[in-house]
């Protein structure tokens, strides 16, 4: 988790950070039209699985950039505007998920898939907790609304998406990587 390659920020991280952000933005925009029940402006986003996958595959910096920039792009394209705390929360979500990179050796091994999903779920909790709690200061909501109205639905929705789609993405990635030879 603390080895050099995990925290390296080179060409690979720049490119995959940008790709992850663009994909997250496009998929978020496409799925912003399915709001979670009782979640205010929090929306149901299968794109979260893409963010968790990019974090797990390419590391915490990629997760942070993809989450922060991608959420900003997706919100801007959808007309939501710019909510720095939700963008940063999404960045944290990708960053924590990216800590799984050092622990993953084989993308189609069951144990490694569970690790990626586990770190992804931890990232979702950290990121959404940050965003929901900061909403108390930016949105003037109370703690109960932050936890029940924002945090819980967002975590449940994102967790379901992650548990279902991240294993599929990892297995598909393993096949692509083996064909590509790197």
Partner 1 sequence: MLVTFKYRPRNTFIQRLDPRTRLIFFLCVVLALTIPEIWDYRFILPLFFVSLTLFLISHIEWKDVRRILPFMFILVFFIVGLNGLLSGRGGPSSVTNIPSPVVFEVLWGIPITVSKMWFALTQITRMFTMALLVIPIPYTMDPNIYGTAFKRMGASDKVSFTMDLAFRFLPTFARDFMITMDAQRARGYEMDNLKGGLVARIQRLAPLIIPVVMQSTVTGEEVIDAMDLRAFGTKPRTWLKDLKYAPRDFFLLGLGVAIFIGCCVFKWGFGVGGYFVPDFFTNLFI
**Residues forming the site for partner 1 (CB under 8 A):** 9-19, 21-23, 25-27, 29-30, 32-33, 35, 38-41, 46, 49-50, 53, 57, 65, 69-70, 73, 76-83, 138-142, 145, 149, 160-161, 164-165, 168-169, 172-173, 176, 180, 182
DSSP tag of 151: I
User: Of 58, 10, 14, nearest to 169 (Cα)?
Assistant: 58
Contacts for 145 with CB less than 8 Å, ≥ 6 apart: none
Q: How far is the CB of 135 from partner 1 (least distance, A)?
A: 10
| Cα separations in angstroms, 31 against 17, 27, 160 | 21, 6, 15
CB of 23 to partner 1, least distance (A): 6
Closer of 57 and 124 to partner 1 (Cβ): 57
Residue 77's H or E segment, with its range, is: helix 60-78
Which residue in the block uniquely carries the two structure tokens 């942070």? 64
Count Cα atoms within 13 angstroms, Cβ side, for 180.
Answer: 7
Q: How far is the CB of 150 from partner 1 (least distance, A)?
A: 10
* Closest approach of partner 1 to the CB of residue 111, in Å: 22
Strand-pairing partners, residue 7, are none
Residue placing its CB nearer to partner 1 in the complex, 105 or 180: 180
* Nearest to partner 1 of 123, 167 (CB atom): 167
Distance between CA atoms of 67 and 87, rounded to whole angstroms? 7
In 3-state terms, what secondary structure has residue 66? Answer: helix
Nearer residue to partner 1 within complex by CB, 27 or 119: 27
Residue 68 CB, shortest distance to partner 1, in Å, is 10
Residue closer to partner 1, measured from CB, 17 or 127:
17
């Amino acid at each position: 988790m603390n080895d050099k390659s995990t925290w390296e920020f080179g060409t690979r991280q720049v490119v995959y950070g940008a790709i992850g952000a663009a994909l997250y933005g496009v998929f978020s925009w496409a799925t912003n039209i399915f709001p979670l029940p009782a979640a205010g402006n929090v929306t149901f986003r299968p794109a979260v699985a893409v963010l968790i996958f990019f974090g797990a595959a390419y590391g915490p910096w990629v997760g942070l950039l993809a989450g922060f920039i991608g959420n900003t792009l997706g919100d801007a394209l959808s007309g939501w505007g710019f909510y720095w705390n939700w963008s940063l929360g999404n960045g944290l979500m990708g960053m924590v998920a990216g800590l799984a990179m050092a622990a993953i050796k084989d993308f189609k091994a069951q144990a490694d898939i569970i690790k990626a999903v586990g770190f992804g779920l931890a990232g979702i909790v950290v990121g959404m907790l940050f965003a929901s709690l900061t909403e108390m200061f930016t949105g003037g909501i109370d703690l109960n609304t932050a936890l029940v109205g924002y945090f819980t639905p967002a975590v449940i929705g994102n967790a379901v998406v992650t548990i279902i789609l991240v294993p599929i993405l990892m297995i598909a990635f393993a096949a692509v990587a083996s064909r590509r030879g790197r």
